[in-house]
Amino acid sequence: MNATNNNPIIAVKDLTIRFGGHAAVDQVSLEVMPFTLKSIIGPNGAGKTTFFNLLSGQYKPTGGKVFLKGKDITNLSAPMRCRLGLGRSFQLTNIFPLLTVLENVRLAIQARKGYGFNFWRHYLHFSACEDEAYQILKEVLLDEKWLYPANLLTHGEQRKLEMAILMALKPEILFLDEPTAGMSQEEVPAILEILERIKSMGDKTILLVEHKMDMIMNLSDSIAVLQDGRLIADSDPETIYRSKEVQEAYLGGGAKRE
Amino acid sequence: MLRREQRKKRYYSIGFVLPCLVLALFVLIPFLGPSYKTLDLALKIIIFASLVASFDIMLGYTGILSFGHGMFFGIGAYCVAFLNGKYGDPTYFHLFLGLLLAVAVACVLALIVSLISLRVKAIFFAMITLALAELTIVLANKLSHFTGGEDGISISLPGIFSAAFSPGSFLGLDISGRVITYYFILLACLGLFALMLRFTHSPLGRVLQAIRDNTDRAEALGYKTFYFQTLSIVLGCTVAAMTGGLYAMWVGYVNPESTLEVMAIMLNVLLMVIIGGMGTLYGGIVGAAFLLITQTFLPDLQKLAIDLFPNASLLHTILERWLLLFGILFILVVIFFPKGVVGSAREFIARARGEAFFSS
């Protein structure tokens, strides 16, 4: 890592959100360095997805701040953050089910290029968008199905389509919420390969929420562990793997709270 | 390249030829020497097809259910009526001004409606627009010194549009003010239809479909969905007001019951869009034709039955309740065309070609 990259690209300070009396995310502070892959793990209900929603702007925090490249973005809406380079995927498959596979990706490119408000030309005239969308579909091995409506794809293919949509946004920072959730064992390697490829390009920062510990150990540069909305560890994979606290959280977190 | 050619084929086949044939039919209808009733029916189909298409932009393309669409239709009708009846003279200038006023009022009102009620979702939006529509009816009835109340307003049209205008005949067709008005409205509706087609096939139109499919996802792509939804509502309502103005030109008379009533206008529009197919635009033509034709000719069936079978009194009784037959027809259409006539037909054609079907 060179000298210019010593500032964190994302910094979170005392981030808190309460739903009623329950603090789903409780005073979490962490930093993400540019061009690294950070995983966020934790048992069910630890607040991982809520934390993601706070970062991508789906939720507004009760307290605390989010910084992007040193700039306070706590009060920006989700579309605004997306334009600043934060792209996110969702834990539950989140695509446009009635549109074609190609159209799903094309809309993302259109959003990035800002053609959205053009209403006097036929959308097919923007062939550059289409070609680029097709290229991305090739990369995630979905090009054969470009004319299918997205809801006819298998679950694994839909997750791939999500990755394609995300790549089409060309975000600087990728938020991936359990990209392998609900996938069959055979489909997981394909997603891992895509992740590996994105990481090896070396120009993206990736934040990954994941449940499968073994999968992220090799991929991650650092791992943060959440439990009951609190950050209990944030370190390199090796340290996390050996940490007693983390093991307890994962294996006996429920029992320990008694 | 393969992709582009495949797409071209899709857009220049049946989907292109069939609308052209329909248009040709409507152009030729006055030449076929029809009765006034048929001409009136044809024109109402044209107007309602455009109205339904404008409703489809909101419901089928953006996923917004509004019960206030009839209100905009009525407002357009009243704008033309004010300037060519109660407060103006039958001049071309006033007619033009009336249509312009319809557009302007609809734009502003649609903007206000969106700003107020887009904050609430789905069924609540529908309820708010329904309340507004009812309020408008009450206003139109009660402010009788302004709107003419229940008596409504009669309209007189300028020069070549007036019924008295008669310059002679052309190819056996008696050119009259009515025929000229017919063609004028056909041309205007054609323009509106072209506008809506272009709108839905533009990048913006595609974003609307994305919002309909998955609003959260569209936001996460960076689209500010609120602005897009507002634009969709403004366009849909403005077109509705235009069709209302044209309708007023044709019938020459405006009152709350015939142009504003939720049951008379809104319910029909809803039925038409369901029969024709949501998210197809062309479905409006099919839906309007089906509904208006059955509503015009089903009542005549009883007369026909009395002539043909003078003794079958049970048959007469059933046919007297022609709405019952209409209900059965409607159920059959919904069962056999679950995506509306146009939607289901498109699906069928795509299946027959062995292509994966996509709805838009």
Residue-wise pLDDT for A240-251, tens only, equals 878 887 777 776
State how far the Cα of B112 lies from the Cα of A209, in Å rounded to an integer: 42
Q: What is the mean pLDDT of residues B231-259?
A: 91
Distance from CA of A184 to the nearest CA of B (A): 24
Q: Which two tokens stand for residue A68?
A: 């992007």
pTM passes above 0.90 = no
State how far the Cα of B148 lies from the Cα of B141, in Å rounded to an integer: 8
pLDDT at B346 over 60: yes
Q: What is the CA radius of gyration of chain B?
A: 21
**How are beta strands A222-227 and A37-41 bridged, if at all?**
parallel
Q: What single letter denotes the amino acid at residue B199?
A: F
How remote is the C-alpha of A237 from its chain's centroid? Answer: 19
Pick the CATH number of A88-170 from 3.40.50.300, 1.10.150.20, 3.40.50.720, 1.10.3720.10: 3.40.50.300
**Which stretches of B309-321 are DSSP H helices?**
313-320
Starting at the earlier edge strand, list the strands of the sheet with A22-32: A22-32, A10-19, A63-68, A71-72
Residue pLDDT, tens place only, A206-216: 888 887 777 77
Nearest CB neighbour to B198, from listed A96, A107, A120:
A120
Residue pLDDT, tens place only, B99-157: 999 999 999 999 998 888 777 677 888 888 899 999 999 998 888 888 887 888 888 88
A147 to chain B: which residues are within 8 Å by CB?
Answer: 6, 355-356, 358
Please tell me what DSSP assigns to residue A186: T
Nearest CB neighbour to A126, from listed B4, B203, B210:
B203
Instruction: With residue A224 as reference, give the H or E element that holds it.
Output: strand A222-227
Q: Give me the domains of chain B, ranges plus CATH numbers.
A: 2-353 (1.10.3470)
State how far the Cα of B306 lies from the Cα of A30, in Å rounded to an integer: 85
Q: What does the CA dihedral B79, B81, B85, B90 come to, rounded to 10 degrees?
A: 80
**Would you call B3 and A56 a contact, using CB atoms and an 8 Å cutoff?**
no
Please tell me what DSSP assigns to residue B89: -
Q: What residues does each domain of chain A span?
A: 88-170
- Number of residues that this document lists for chain A: 258
**How are beta strands A63-68 and A205-209 bridged, if at all?**
unpaired
Distance from CA of A159 to the nearest CA of B (A): 14
Contact A11, A180 (CB under 8 A): no
Residue pLDDT, tens place only, A129-163: 888 888 888 888 788 888 888 888 888 888 888 88
Q: Which two tokens stand for residue A49?
A: 């997805």
pLDDT at B195 over 90: yes
Q: CB contact, 8 Å: B168 with chain A?
A: no
